[in-house]
Amino acid sequence: MPREITAYSNPLVKRVRNLREKRHRREEGLFLAEGLRILAEAQEAGHLPQWIFYAADSAGHPLVRRLVAATEKAGGEAIETTRDILHKLSGKDNPQTVLGVYRQFDTSLARIDRAAAGIWIVAQSLRDPGNLGTILRTGDAVGAGGLILVDDCVDPFSVEAVRATMGALFTQRIAQARWEDFLPWLRAGPGQLVGTSLKATGSYRAPRYEAPTFLLVGNEAQGLPEAYEAECDLLVKIPMLGKADSLNAAVATAVIAYEVLGQRS
């Protein structure tokens, strides 16, 4: 049976609230996800929270009841609480009616099965949680295997990043690695490394992409380092017909990923 928490001083409330900070997420190996849609997507992908918090006035919602029942059946705990406490946990002025606490995924390269998909997205020094979310959603849309974060990227388990993924965090495999570890791993098996670069001479529509394609996008401000570009099998760019010299990193990723998908179709 769900238990009720209405006191701000409850130790679990403090523990969960601390997960908004990266240090505590790393120490606990946990992260927060908010909203019925995201939690339902997670359940469909086979992920259930260790704790599910929900507002008392939403207890009768059929999706809430289903999530609570599934969480408890899997050994998790359901907590009925107030919207004020949900606000304290999420940090939002208008918090969602449901919040889940999940175990962080294993993000090692060893967990990546490159044969599982024809497209993989690789982001180097990506800093914006909104871009990470959009790239993950794009990966889900094109049937990519997942996203490999190279070097110092935004934390994919931050509240902002999880929110931006709209559930794609649970449908896409995520790995994290340094470049010096990623490159030998990539070259140990099949995989065409395609880098996005303003220095490229050819349009992204010109090459024939080979499976599995690893689409590499650089930092939002600096792009890819020259040394990284030199390791790519192909460098491509998107023609710019206006006065802007480049597209947003997530938008550029989506444009090229759909070209790769179109060729496979």
If you write DSSP's letter for every residue of 103-160 in order, what string do you get? EPPP--GGG--GGG-SEEEEEES---HHHHHHHHHHHHHHT--EEEEESS---TTSHH
What's the total number of domains in the chain?
Answer: 2
Arithmetic mean of pLDDT, 73-83: 95
Judge whether residue 245 has pLDDT over 70.
no
Same domain, residue pair 117 and 240: yes
Residue 146: what are its φ and ψ, rounded to 5°? 165, -165
Query: Which residue among 74, 103, 132 closes a domain?
Result: 103
CA distances from 217 to 113, 120, 141, 163, 179 (A): 20, 11, 18, 22, 13
Q: Give the pLDDT confidence of 182-227 residue by residue, as tens digits.
A: 999 999 999 999 999 888 888 889 899 999 999 999 999 889 999 9
Q: How many residues does the chain have?
A: 265
Same domain, residue pair 210 and 120: yes
Judge whether residue 81 has pLDDT over 60.
yes
> b vs e for 189-226, b when ≥16 Cβ sit within 10 Å of the residue's Cβ?
eebbbbbbbeebeeebeebebebbbbbbbbbbeebbee
Amino acid symbol at 180: E
CATH code for position 51: 3.30.1330.30
pLDDT of residue 246: 59
Supply the range of the domain harboring residue 218.
109-264
Residue 263 CB partners (closer than 8 Å, separation 6+): 208, 209
Predicted model pTM: 0.92
Q: Give the pLDDT confidence of 13-63 residue by residue, as tens digits.
A: 999 999 999 999 999 999 999 999 999 999 999 999 999 999 988 888 999
